Amino acid sequence: MSQSAKKVLWIVFGAQVLWSLPIGLFFVWRWLAFDDPERSYICSGSRSSGKVCTDGETTNMALGIVFSVIGVIFLVVTLLFLTSWLRRRARESFLRTHGARGVGVVTEVAPTSTRVNGRTVMKVEGEILDVPGGRFVWHGFAVVPPGTQVNVAYDPGEPDDAVVLDDLKKVASSAIVREAAAQRDRADVMLDRLAQLERLRGSGSLTEAEFDRLKAEIIGDAR
């Protein structure tokens, strides 16, 4: 997963822990420290007009348990995510320093069901050239065209979990620029060939039927 996606996930999980756990602990404290009497009253506010609200020891207990459980769940998820991330980062750091070098080629790019801050996380898969079983998987926001070559580092004993050394955001941007330039070149070549056909037709070297046939072939080749 890219660093930007990880940062957003950290913010989301951390925010859930920071707001739910303190609220839960506050109500648990009120439930244990005070003997608040049970009472009911008409809720205030335009959206709550006419509704009955409750307050007291039971309410404090219920809110304390609910918010504390939510906070603990997100805290556990955050700690598990942190442990996995630290292990992965240590392995990536080891491979970047001591791993064998190779050239990988992107074979598949597909969107995942994960959306972070309104953006879809992409899954980029590829193989390592001349390394049997060598492959890599990368998650992030960059859309890298299949066939793109990247530098990778891998463990010869476990080549199926290589690390991409290149910045795939820059690689994707460069690939887009190259593809746009290639399209412009193909368009220029097509226009030159069509202009040449026009000149040949104008000089009488081509019949109308030959001109139409060759024009269709040129346009078909450019698609």
Specify whether the backbone of 57 is left (phi greater than 0), alpha (psi in -120 to 50) or beta: alpha
- CB-based burial of residue 135 (10 Å sphere; 0-12 exposed, 13-18 middle, 19+ buried)? middle
CA distance linking residue 143 with residue 192, whole number of Å: 33
Instruction: Give domain limits for the chain.
Output: 3-95, 100-166, 172-222
Q: Which pTM was predicted?
A: 0.50
pLDDT in tens, 136-166: 998 888 888 888 889 999 999 899 989 989 8
Answer whether 75's CB lies under 8 Å from 24's CB: no
Helix or strand or coil: residue 8? helix
Check residue 217 and give its pLDDT.
75
Can you read off the two tokens belonging to residue 171? Answer: 């690689």
CA distance linking residue 14 with residue 71, whole number of Å: 10
pLDDT(48) > 60: no
Answer whether 166's CB lies under 8 Å from 134's CB: no
